Amino acid sequence: MSLDLSFSPSKAMSPKAKYTDRFIPRRLDIVSDLSVFQQQENGKINSNDVETSPTKQDYKRALKELVYPYMSPNEKLLSLSASLSPASPSKGLGSYTVNDLPTSPSLSSPSKKKISRFIPKSADKILDAPQIVDDYYLNLLDWSPTNVLAVALNQSVFLWNASTGAAHKLMQTDGRGDIITSLSWGSGNTLAVGTHSAEIQLWDVSTSALVRTLRGHEQRVSSLTWSSGSSLSSGSRDCQIIHHDTRANNHKIASLHGHRHEVCGLKWSPQANQLASGGNDNVLYIWEARNNRPRLCIERHRAAVKALAWCPFQHNTLASGGGTADRKICLWNTSNGTCFNEVDTKSQVCAIEWSIHDKEFVSSHGFTHNQLILWRHYGSGRLQKVTELTGHQARVLHMAKSPVMGLTLVVHECDCCAQDGTTVVSAAADETIRFWRIFGAGRNSASKLKDEQASRSLLGANSIR
């Protein structure tokens, strides 16, 4: 009997027979280094040499993001998803071209890659600010929607046009020791100026004219914030918060009582329906519009609460920072008073500014490091430190963010002060004002920013007055 080894079509492998019940993992779907890293992170591999300090953990998180920038926190180490497409009849078992393989994060096309961002480590521009008052509880810096920077130096207010570089003095108080204690830009060319003599002066900067003076406080006005074009709120050392209608003869609308010491932080939410106030009594209050009683009283901080900033992309989210004895940044859900997260910054928190382009914010600090810190916000209160910026020689008391002119990005000769919301200005007790290109914007690539940083000149005005 002969053995028939010829191929018969009836004996050909059916389509169902092309796959077996065996699962053969592919190296393409396995990130072995990351697997070991996460096992160490989860304690599955014991090692007495692994440091567990907060600094080491921050370093490991930053390293993980740098090495695996495409790996999301919930992404699997081993992919068991869609199988390979069936082989064509002309291919043998396991014979696939590159185009047949599923897309891997490490092999993705350049158009899908995460765009890197260059963050300059030094200030783009430095201005002298002689006689700026070294007082943590004051608010002496603000940047207008028309790209004009206002800064209070002792008893005077100076304006610096970020588009032209021109600077001039707007006003000066008359009384001895009557220093400027707060500044806040309204709509258009209106600037509110709080003084040590408990007055609020409204100035039209286009004509350098005093429009009117608002009274009602008994002690210095240390914080100001606008809720609309004509509605201004002020906080004082007399522990009061007063709402003003700047158009009415009887400007005082309401007076809020709750704080037991000076009100040094005051911010309306972007929707103008919630007011956050912080005081030297270590208390954070959340007030609703048209309600004279606080909706939330938060006593988590252990020092004065001056740094306040509402999140521009997530409603009811507020960042607050405490003074020297506290040093913490807290993220709050103001709808119910829940603390999303609390971070010990190791330094006095003086100010906070959110980016309008990315889910990031920057904080400025005093004792003991006098630095700026850029933080990335991942939602649900999760924060990651991106970088620290140093240069100031004393505590960084004030910060403001460059404006954005509608939907069109306006660029001037001084590109560090372009009206695109990417620049933060800081004022410190070392009597300097520094401009930092710290926030990202879609129009700038990393290479372009590096070229700009290398070629940018510090020529021009180098003093605010």
pLDDT over threshold 70, residue 23: no
Token readout for 17 is 């027979």
For 314-359, write each residue's pLDDT tens digit: 999 999 999 999 999 999 999 999 999 999 999 999 999 999 999 9
CA 131 from chain centre, in angstroms, equals 28
Tell me what pLDDT residue 464 has: 73
Nearest to 317 by CA among 374, 364, 263, 378: 378
Is residue 430 pLDDT above 60, yes or no? yes
Strands of the sheet containing 284-288, edge to edge, are: 263-268, 274-279, 284-288, 294-298
The answer to whether the beta carbons of residues 302 and 283 sit under 8 Å apart is: no
* CA dihedral sign, ordered 91, 93, 97, 103: positive
In this model, does residue 175 exceed pLDDT 70?
Answer: yes
Which run of H or E residues covers position 318? Answer: strand 317-322
| Cis bond upstream, residue 422 (ω within 30) | no
76, 88, 297, 360 from 73: Cα distances, Å:
9, 37, 34, 18
pLDDT at 99: 40
Average pLDDT score, the chain: 81
Q: What percent of the chain stands above pLDDT 90?
A: 61
- The rounded distance, in Å, linking the Cα atoms of 423 and 426 is 10
- Nearest CA among 368, 387, 275, 357 for reference residue 327: 368
| 3-state SS assignment for residue 457 | coil
pLDDT at 331: 97
Inter-residue contact 298 to 284 (CB < 8 Å): yes
pLDDT in tens, 283-324: 999 999 989 999 999 999 999 999 999 999 999 999 999 999
Instruction: Pick the range with the lowest mean pLDDT from 14-23, 124-133, 434-443, 445-454.
Output: 445-454
Q: How big is the chain, counted in residues?
A: 465
Band of residue 98 on the pLDDT scale cut at 50, 70, 90:
very low
| Residue 282: predicted pLDDT | 98
Confidence class for position 462, pLDDT limits 50, 70, 90: confident
Residue 69's Cβ-side half-sphere holds a number of Cα atoms within 13 Å equal to 10
Q: How confident is the model at residue 408 (pLDDT cuts 50, 70, 90)?
A: very low
Cα 279 from Cα 266, distance rounded (Å): 9
**pLDDT tops 50 at residue 155:** yes
CB 130, CB 137: distance < 8 Å: no
Quote the Cα angle for 313-300-424, to 5°.
40
Question: Tell me, what's the pLDDT at 133?
Answer: 98
The predicted-structure confidence for 235-278, as pLDDT tens digits, reads as follows 999 999 999 999 999 999 999 999 999 999 999 999 999 999 99
**For residues 224 and 57, which has the higher predicted lDDT (pLDDT)?**
224
For 333, phi and psi rounded to 5 degrees? -95, 105
Contact 439, 140 (CB under 8 A): no
> Is 383's pLDDT higher than 70?
yes
Residue with tokens 């252990």: 302
Rounded to the nearest 10°, the torsion over CA 4, 10, 11, 13 is 150
**Residue corresponding to tokens 């999760």:** 382
Indicate whether 102 pLDDT > 70: no
**Cα distance between residue 354 and residue 344, in whole Å:** 18
Are the C-beta atoms of 126 and 462 separated by less than 8 Å? yes
Contact assessment for residue 432 and residue 464, using Cβ atoms and an 8 Å cutoff = no
C-alpha span between 113 and 108 (Å, rounded): 7
